[in-house]
Amino acid sequence: MTSSDRGQAHTLEGVTAALLVVTSIVLALQMTAVTPLTASTANQHIETQERAAAHGVLTTVGSSALRESTLHWNASSARFAGSGERGFYVGSGPTSDLALLDRLNQTFAGTGIAYNVRFVYLGANGEDRRTRRFVYNGEPTENAVSASRSVTLYDGDRVAASDGASPDAVGDVTYFAPDAAPNSGVYNVVDVEVVVWRM
């Protein structure tokens, strides 16, 4: 082989190697399809996990803890007990008093996930739905998800005692939800709704 033949062989070898590298890159890019929807698919997976976690909290604390939260009401000041002038809790709320708030904080505190809790209940006519804030940690983002669980309150259920007094029945005090079924033992049905989102 002459030196010009050797040069042509090296050039041909270089071109072949370059084609092999370019072909490998093209195949790799085709195998990992990056589209504008890739991020939304990841968001959807995260939202599904957040919804499952919120639903898990509502399920594990049980109906009695949810009922206890809805009845954590100070009848003399017509707001949730210990909530201050706002009438609802900001931040973690009284976790030592309420199993729901304790479990929410154990689940979401320090994870970059915020939550709000609100109560959705029947109006006085038993048809329209109204809401009452219970815990507020800001305005949810567009990726917020929610989970809810219903609690039935009865006329004989008692609100939180204030100032050491004996607790009054929910129907005997000024309570945030009206008696939606005055001719029955059921007072109202309250949906405890937890809204979670990434901060």
Per-residue model confidence as pLDDT tens digits over 64-106: 999 999 999 988 888 898 888 999 999 877 777 899 999 999 9
Q: CA 135: distance to chain centroid?
A: 12
Alpha-carbon torsion (92, 96, 97, 99), positive or negative = positive
The tokens for 124 are: 């006085």
Domain ranges of the chain: 38-198
Cα of 191 vs its chain's centroid, Å: 14
Q: Write out the E strands in 94-163.
A: 113-122, 129-136, 145-154
Q: Among 48, 50, 38, 42, which residue's Cα sits nearest to residue 197?
A: 50
CA angle 6, 7, 8 (to 5 degrees): 90
Asked if 135 and 89 touch (Cβ cutoff 8 Å), the reply is yes
The confidence score (pLDDT) of residue 77 equals: 85
Q: What is the pLDDT of residue 174?
A: 86
Taking the C-alpha atoms of residue 134 and residue 118, their distance in angstroms, rounded to an integer, is 5
Q: What is the model's pLDDT at position 100? A: 93
pLDDT of residue 38: 52
pLDDT at 173: 87
d(CA 127, CA 124): 8
* Positions in the chain short of pLDDT 70: 1-5, 32-43, 161-166
**pLDDT at position 172:** 86
Contact 196/108 with Cβ under 8 angstroms? yes
Q: Which residues pair with 74 in a beta bridge?
A: 79
What integer pLDDT is reported at residue 7 of this predicted model? 72
